[in-house]
Structure 1
Amino acid sequence: MNGTIQGLFETHINVSDYEASAAFYEKMLGLIPLHDDPARRSKFYWIGRPGEAMFGIRENYPSNLVQRQHFAFRVALEDLKTARVRLEERGVETTNFFGETEAPLSVFPFMPAVSLYFDDPDGHSVELLAMLGDAPRPELAIMPWPEWDKICGRT
């Protein structure tokens, strides 16, 4: 191969009910529908602007065994600040990296980024992640967002 990989274009997950999963991803996360293939019980979505990245759901493909997967959607920092409230208002329980529902969101200093976790209807681990504009601090452990802000001099 000549050239450099420029990013991840698509990923697909196996779901037990593609209509229920489609409703979740469209109504809870606002993904942009691209193509519905009822014959294959599949649906595809644009992530970000059309043509940048694609996400697909497929019912019982390649088998009816749905194994828990993890993936993260990148979001703007301002959107992440309100995502927890919006999701919980819609009945979706959210956590930080450590699985805590009432604790502050977690920062990954090696990137740095802050994120929020929740499960989809099949128990897949979905993460909303926002990059922070600070310098990476790989020597630091994962920490609560307020602690990161304190280290960075914002509080």
Structure 2
Amino acid sequence: MITGLFETHLKVADLERSMHFYGEVLDLELAHRDETRPIAFYWLGTRGDAMLGLWLEPPKRIQRQHFAFRSTVQDVLRAPAWLRERGLTPRNFLNDGTDDPMVFAWMPALALYFTDPDGHSLELIAMLEEQPRPELGVVSREKWESLS
């Protein structure tokens, strides 16, 4: 019955600012902007695969959320520099001041985080081909590679 996630929505305080962020900074393709109400939709990945909706709301009604963008291992590894080029601060899962992607060994997947203008936590994540090793928890990429 369920084969994936098609659409998710975020409440944003400034629709124009968020449209600039998701469209210009993150290079997402605008799918539709509804001029009759304050909302814009962006395609995630290939057109028709998944969508992100941005809904204008008063700042006091915005609750910070988290979601992850599917990516490739190569792109997650390139992401720290790519994000910094766009004026964004990449961070790892531990938020310890470093920006080297970390591995969630139970999946396993490589992940890196950053924040949008409203403080929503965004993640780039890529599944790894190795077998899951949940006993390792969350580890650095270097540790994962040394144990694989």
CA distance in 2, matches of 1:108, 1:5: 24
Q: For 1:82 and 1:59, how far apart are their aligned partners in 2?
A: 32
What is the one-letter code of the residue matched to 1:86?
W
TM-score using structure 1 length: 0.90
Which whole-Å CA distance do the structure 2 matches of 1:119 and 1:103 have between them? 13
2:133 aligns to what SS in structure 1? Answer: coil
Percentage identity across paired residues of the two chains: 45
Q: Secondary structure at the match of 2:92?
A: coil
Provide the residue aligned with 2:8 in structure 1: 11
Cα distance between partner residues in 1 of 2:28 and 2:95: 24
Provide the secondary structure at the position in 2 that maps to 1:35. Answer: strand
Residue 41 of structure 1 and its aligned partner are, at CA, apart by 1.4
Q: What SS does the corresponding residue of 1:135 show, helix, strand or coil?
A: coil
How far 1:28 sits from its partner (Å)? Answer: 2.1
What's the counterpart of residue 103 of structure 2? Answer: 107
- Provide structure 2 residue ranges, at least 5 long, that are not aligned to the other structure: none
Corresponding position of 2:62:
66
Are residues 90 and 17 of structure 1, via their aligned partners in 2, closer, same or farther at CA, if it must alter by over 3 Å? same
Q: 1:130 aligns with which of 110, 126, 129?
A: 126
Q: Kindly state the Cα deviation for residue 39 of structure 1 after the two structures are TM-superposed.
A: 2.9
1:93 and 1:101 in contact (8 A); partners too: no
Corresponding residue for 2:35? 38
Partner of 2:23: 26
Q: How far is 1:103 from its partner? A: 4.9
1:82, distance to aligned residue in structure 2 (A)? 1.1
Q: Which runs of 4+ in 1 moved over 3 A?
A: none
Q: CA RMSD in A?
A: 1.4
Query: Residues 150 and 91 (structure 1 numbering): CA distance in 2 closer, same or farther, change over 3 Å?
Result: same
1:55 to 48, 52, 59: 52
- 1:44 Cα deviation after fit: 0.2
Number of equivalent positions:
148
Question: Would you say the 8 A contact 2:77–2:101 is kept in 1?
Answer: no
Q: Hey, what's the Cα distance between the residues in 2 that align with 1:142 and 1:78? A: 19
Gaps (5+ residues) in structure 1?
none
Q: Offset at 1:54?
A: 0.9
Deviation at 1:22, TM superposition (A): 0.8
